[in-house]
């Protein structure tokens, strides 16, 4: 049985994944202009990946006896492309930090399945962070 701490961490991860999936999708919908054109499809693709993460984490949390949250953390779309991407970099950095903590917590509880799940998600988040930091260099 998973600890309350691990279940709470998984719910934090779900809330974050819900937040960025909505945030990135709204950025995709609202952004226009020449620079935004190249970014729009990438934002949409990443938003969908984040929603899939939320689903996978929710399934794991439910299996472990928790109830997945339906509330995202604060969504900040931003007004300019630079603002949006700066915020996204910060959100990805927060995710990377949280997911490393979740992996360590899961391992400390001998929960290799949760650790393995988050190792895969962490790889995606690091790729998203790389995408956003690269985009930021061009803005």
- Cα torsion through 52, 98, 139, 83, rounded to 10: 90
Domain span including residue 92: 4-137
Q: pTM for the complete prediction?
A: 0.94
pLDDT of 37: 73
Percent of the chain scored above 90 by pLDDT? 82
> What mean pLDDT comes out for the span 38-65?
95
CA-CA-CA-CA torsion sign (113, 117, 118, 120): positive
Domain count, the chain: 1
For 110-127, the pLDDT digits (tens) are: 999 999 999 999 999 999
Write the CATH number for 58: 1.20.1260.10
């Amino acid at each position: 049985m998973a600890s309350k701490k691990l279940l709470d961490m998984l719910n934090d991860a779900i809330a974050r994944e819900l937040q960025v999936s909505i945030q990135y999708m709204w950025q995709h919908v609202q952004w226009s202009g020449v620079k935004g054109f190249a970014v729009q499809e990438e934002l949409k693709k990443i938003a969908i990946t984040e929603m899939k993460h939320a689903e996978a984490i929710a399934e794991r949390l439910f299996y472990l006896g928790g109830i997945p949250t339906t509330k995202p953390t604060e969504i900040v779309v931003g007004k300019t492309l630079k603002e949006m991407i700066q915020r996204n970099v910060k959100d990805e950095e927060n995710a990377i930090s949280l997911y490393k903590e979740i992996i360590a917590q899961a391992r400390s509880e001998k929960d290799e399945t949760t650790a393995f799940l988050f190792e895969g998600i962490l790889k995606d988040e690091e790729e998203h962070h790389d995408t956003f930091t690269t985009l930021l260099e061009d803005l």
